Structure 1
Amino acid sequence: MRVLGLDVGSKTIGIAVSDALKLTAQGVKTISWTEHDMSSADQELASIIAEYDIHEIVIGLPKHMNGTIGERGEFSKTYGKRLERKFQLPVHFVDERLTTVAAERALLEADVSRKKRSKVIDKMAAVIILQSFLNQHQ
């Protein structure tokens, strides 16, 4: 019974999963998708949900620094509600302010090249989003 963490962007979705005890988050992959066709990631997400025995989904909720929810945040909420209906799993939202900044900082500290950073930044952001959720629910 694991938890799936998603960092939903306009072109990619970063994917992370929890361990079975729901203590730690591990990055899985980044998938490409077309946000104008919300079903474009369904097949890959269905495979991950089955493979990892996912029972909950956590999505990063982009907020403005003043805490208000803008257009990207509303899109994430709409997408989350769609996933909830599609996969019959509860979907939770976690404030994702500064997660990409934190992921970038961690990759810089690990001396990861710019080219490699761009390939894993969304996956790292998904790890931070999911770990934040797991820490709040322990």
Structure 2
Amino acid sequence: MSHHQRAMAFDYGTRQIGVAVGQTLTGSAEPLANLRARDGIPDWEQIGKLIKEWKPDILIVGLPLNMDGSDSEMSTRASKFARRLEGRFQLPAQCIDERLSTFEAKQQLRDQRRTPGSYRDNPVDSLAAALLLETWLASQPKENS
């Protein structure tokens, strides 16, 4: 019996939250949306609509740890966000280390010849969410088909 999971990932930030979706079947993820947040508080209704539309089995939240692996103020807030997601939408939420995902997302945009000024309308946060989701997907056990 194989159970393929659809996952939704969040790159948590105080002003924007990037969202991406992916699945264990293909191991790939795609950027979905950048949601506005006010001091880290998202529009829960927007998140609810995305969850209703994509029907994920699990929610993944990037944990922005300090480079030495210790908690940061943002990782504490991201953990709290994950617990709220879990409680609000009755779905398992898992936090994963995302120390380099935003950096990597900006690097990818740079490689695509995007200018730093265009990041505002670029999906850097949703791209970071897709990168952290791909990291999570790659860590999942492979199923025999």
Is 2:74 aligned against 1:72? yes
Please report how far the alpha carbon of residue 113 of structure 1 lies from its aligned counterpart in structure 2 after TM superposition. Answer: 2.7
- Aligned residue runs from structure 1 range 1-138, under 5 A: 1-19=5-23, 21=25, 23-35=27-39, 38=41, 40-119=42-121, 120-138=123-141
Cα distance in 2 between the residues matched to 1:111 and 1:14? 21
Cα distance in 1 between the residues matched to 2:12 and 2:82? 10
Cα distance in 1 between the residues matched to 2:19 and 2:117? 19
Please report how far the alpha carbon of residue 22 of structure 1 lies from its aligned counterpart in structure 2 after TM superposition. Answer: 5.3
Say if 2:24 and 2:140, in contact at 8 Å, map to a contact too: no
TM-score (norm 1): 0.91
Over 3 Å counting, the alpha-carbon distance change for 1:83 and 1:22 in structure 2 is farther
Question: Which structure has more helix as a fraction of its residues?
Answer: 1
Cα distance in 2 between the residues matched to 1:95 and 1:51? 26
Structure 2: tracts of 5 or more residues without a match: none
Aligned partner letter, 1:115: G
TM-score (norm 2): 0.87
Q: 3-state SS of the aligned residue for 1:54?
A: coil
Map Cα deviations across residues 87-128 of structure 1 (whole Å, 9 max, x no partner): 000001110111111011111011123233233111111111
Say if 1:19 and 1:26, in contact at 8 Å, map to a contact too: no
**Deviates most, 27-36 or 110-119:** 110-119
Q: 3-state SS of the aligned residue for 2:65?
A: coil
Over 3 Å counting, the alpha-carbon distance change for 1:20 and 1:97 in structure 2 is closer
Cα distance in 1 between the residues matched to 2:58 and 2:90? 9
Larger Rg: 2
Aligned-pair Cα RMSD in Å: 1.5
Cα distance in 2 between the residues matched to 1:116 and 1:29? 16
Cα distance in 1 between the residues matched to 2:20 and 2:118? 18
Cα distance in 1 between the residues matched to 2:140 and 2:91? 17
**Deviates most, 10-19 or 110-119:** 110-119
Cα distance in 1 between the residues matched to 2:51 and 2:26? 15
Structure 1: tracts of 5 or more residues without a match: none
Q: 3-state SS of the aligned residue for 2:57?
A: strand
